[in-house]
């Protein structure tokens, strides 16, 4: 029979566990906004985004299915969290106690609850969106209610895929057909932030083709 102090400890741990779930739900909601923002900017790749997402699992990881991208698109946070929990090997220790085991020896038994694997989601989205996973994690921690979130999400997506509703993609094209994003060109040329901004403006307004 547990003591009052053990029950208090368990209640505190359950509150902490719920806090972890709430934080995961907050992050997933933001990532859903990122996915929807990506799609409204047009998807020009041959593969649908959910297929590309399912194929972008980190090496050695089982990966999340295409249905997770669809759930993010639909703002279905509960379905995403269920999928992240099913794919997770992480757990949270709520309480532990000792009981008599084989050979009449005391052994510690832990009560554990599953945790969603948000790191796997971040890794797969980073592969599809070309946005570092740690950047997505920071914005996700802010939550949708934070006034910084919407602006930062739009800024990240605009820099890579152009503004929503814009017909011309912000890309640089060589004469032989090679196409790269402005950010990729800036990385290759080692442009400063100011120079990258100028190149982005030129590409969006007039287009840029580089010939040999």
Residue 120 is encoded by which pair of tokens? 């796997």
Does residue 194 carry a pLDDT above 90?
no
| Per-residue confidence (pLDDT) for residue 161, from 0 to 100 | 87
Does residue 36 carry a pLDDT above 50?
yes
**What is the residue whose two structure tokens read 């006034």?**
147
| Per-residue confidence (pLDDT) for residue 125, from 0 to 100 | 95
Question: Can you tell me whether residue 84 is helix, strand or coil?
Answer: helix
Contact residues for 47 (Cβ-Cβ < 8 A; gap 6+): 55
Does residue 152 carry a pLDDT above 80?
yes
Question: Can you tell me whether residue 195 is helix, strand or coil?
Answer: helix
Neighbour-count burial of 13, counting CB atoms closer than 10 A to its CB (0-12 exposed, 13-18 middle, 19+ buried): middle
Q: What are phi and psi of 180, to 5 degrees?
A: -140, 160
Question: Can you tell me whether residue 100 is helix, strand or coil?
Answer: strand
Question: Edge-to-edge, what's the strand order for the sheet holding 179-181?
Answer: 179-181, 171-174, 208-210
| Per-residue confidence (pLDDT) for residue 193, from 0 to 100 | 76
| Per-residue confidence (pLDDT) for residue 201, from 0 to 100 | 65
Pick from 21-25, 53-57, 61-65, 71-75: least confident: 61-65
Distance separating the N- and C-terminal Cα atoms of the chain: 80
| Per-residue confidence (pLDDT) for residue 170, from 0 to 100 | 45
């Amino acid at each position: 029979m547990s003591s009052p102090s053990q029950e208090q400890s368990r209640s505190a741990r359950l509150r902490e566990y719920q806090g972890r779930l709430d934080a995961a739900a907050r992050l997933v909601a933001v990532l859903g906004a990122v996915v929807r923002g990506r799609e409204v900017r047009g998807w020009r790749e041959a593969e649908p985004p959910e297929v590309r997402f399912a194929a972008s699992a980190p090496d050695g990881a089982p990966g999340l299915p295409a249905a997770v991208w669809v759930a993010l698109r639909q703002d279905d946070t509960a379905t995403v969290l269920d999928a992240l929990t099913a794919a997770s090997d992480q757990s949270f220790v709520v309480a532990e106690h000792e009981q008599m085991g084989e050979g009449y020896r005391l052994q510690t038994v832990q009560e554990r609850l599953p945790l969603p694997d948000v790191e796997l989601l971040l890794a797969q989205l980073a592969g599809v969106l070309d946005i570092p996973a740690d950047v997505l994690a920071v914005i996700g921690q802010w939550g949708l209610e934070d006034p910084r979130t919407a602006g930062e999400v739009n800024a990240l997506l605009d820099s890579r895929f152009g503004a929503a509703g814009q017909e011309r993609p912000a890309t640089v094209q060589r004469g032989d057909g090679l196409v790269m994003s402005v950010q990729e060109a800036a990385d290759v040329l080692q442009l400063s932030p100011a120079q990258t901004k100028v190149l982005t403006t030129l590409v969006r307004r007039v287009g840029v083709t580089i010939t040999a």
